Amino acid sequence: MFVFYFTQIALDIGFGTTWWLLKNTSSLIINGTMYLIRGPVVNEVDLLKHEIKLLKHDVDTLKIN
């Protein structure tokens, strides 16, 4: 009985560790490849912040003129 439970525990830990390593390694490879192809990911919030800065600059130039 002890051998059965010990084997189950060892297999569970072994398969869980293997799954975790494969999952994280594959996501690292995929994300690294996508970063090399596309460059850094720019999210929508950063784009909106940049657009707001440009609009503020336009408003300031209009006020001056």
* Structure tokens, 60: 């300031």
pLDDT > 70? residue 2: yes
CA 62 to chain CA mean position, Å: 41
Find the mean pLDDT for residues 13-26: 98
Helices (H), 2-64: 2-38, 44-64
pLDDT of residue 65: 65
Q: With 90 as the cut, is the pLDDT of residue 1 above it?
A: no
Three-state SS at 20:
helix
Instruction: Please state the pTM of the whole predicted model.
Output: 0.57
Q: How remote is the C-alpha of 15 from its chain's centroid?
A: 25
23-59 pLDDT per residue, tens: 999 999 999 999 999 988 778 998 999 999 999 998 9
